[in-house]
Amino acid sequence: MASTEKPGHAIWETIKTIVYALLIAGVFRTLFFQPFWIPSGSMKETLLIGDFLFVNKMAYGYSYASCPSVKLPGIGINIDAEDLCGFLKGDNTRVWGGEPERGDVVVFRHPVSGADFIKRLIGLPGDQIQVIDGVLQINGAAVKLEKAGVFEELSAPQGPQGYRPRCENGPVGEGGICEKSRQIETLPNGVRHSIINIGDQRSDHTGVYTVPEGYYFFMGDNRDNSSDSRLPQAAGGVGFVPYENIVGRADRIMFSSGGRSMLYFWTWRGDRFFKGIE
């Protein structure tokens, strides 16, 4: 029996289905989880270029930064979270706000550029943070450090941007083994995580940063290759991050690809699927 459905009706039903799907996806992304692809090596070895994860937005409540950004340069779409929810910005508060904990791996909006960054939370409001000879100091006390061998990776272009790793064992030729010193750092609340170092850097020697109320201090685990709160915003760094700029907490890596595209299945890292983030 031939269908009596009119072509126009079928097209309209298809459009409604697409709109509903986009609305559901938008609500899900705004309220619960936001996908995030690791573009740089500033959080090695905790996070590698090509790791894919979902950011838990429920962990700290909601602010203007919880609104999704839609950026599709190929078709000219560039809608920022501030375009949608900028009217909520400015009071540095959150709805159903939860306090982030020292040691959390957090996604936040850069206070100036609005770009999404992912770093480890080191300093809470009121803390005094300093780095002396490469050793993190929190409120005047050095954190505990334990030697943990060497972090090794292949000296080759990484990710879609083709970033090359910096090595402690000097310039390494294509395909060679790039090495960095590895340590386990223990924060005052007992959170243990690995950090890697390349050598003596300017960022290994800082003044004292006093974190203002309502702000947080972040650092990358790849200590010598991270633009973070150690560098002020006026100098191109992150500086102190307002509470309202926090997007959410990174809890688990869902998928990881070591190549220039996630479609290059031969570069998938099988040992990182569903890996918890410490």
CATH superfamily of 9-276: Umud Fragment, subunit A (2.10.109.10)
The pLDDT-based confidence of 6 (bands split at 50, 70, 90) is low
Is residue 227 part of the annotated active site? The answer reads: no
Catalytic residue among 119, 181, 256, 257: 119
Q: What percent of the chain has pLDDT over 90?
A: 64
Q: Which of 201, 222, 245 is nearest to 61 (CA)?
A: 245
Question: Which one has a higher pLDDT value, 100 or 17?
Answer: 100
Q: Band of the pLDDT at 9, cuts 50, 70, 90?
A: low
Per-residue pLDDT of 16-56, as tens digits, reads: 565 545 554 455 454 567 888 999 999 999 999 999 999 99
The residue-averaged pLDDT of 264-277 equals 90
Give the pLDDT confidence of 53-78 residue by residue, as tens digits: 999 999 999 999 988 877 667 777 77
Q: Write the pLDDT tens digit of every residue in 84-97.
A: 888 889 999 999 88
Is 42 assigned a catalytic role? yes
Task: Give the start-to-end residue ranges of the domains of the chain.
Answer: 9-276
Kindly write down the DSSP assignment for every residue of the chain, as one continuous string. Answer: ------HHHHHHHHHHHHHHHHHHHHHHHHHTEEEEE--SSTTTTTS-TTEEEEEETTSS-B-GGGSPPEEEGGGTEEE-HHHHHGGGTTS---BT-----TT-EEEEE-TTT--EEEEEEEE-TT-EEEEETTEEEETTEEPEEEEEEEEEEESS-BTTTTBPPP-TTS---TT-EEEEEEEEEE-TTS-EEEEEE-S--GGGS---EEPPTTEEEEE-SBTTS--STTS-GGGTS--SEEGGGEEEEEEEEEEEB-SSSTT-GGGB-GGGTTEEP-
The model's pLDDT over 168-184, given as tens digits with 9 standing for 90+, comes to 998 899 889 999 999 99
Q: Please state the rounded mean pLDDT for residues 238-251.
A: 96
Please check the confidence at residue 3 and state whether its pLDDT lies above 80. Answer: no
How many other CB atoms are there within 10 angstroms of residue 137's CB atom? 15
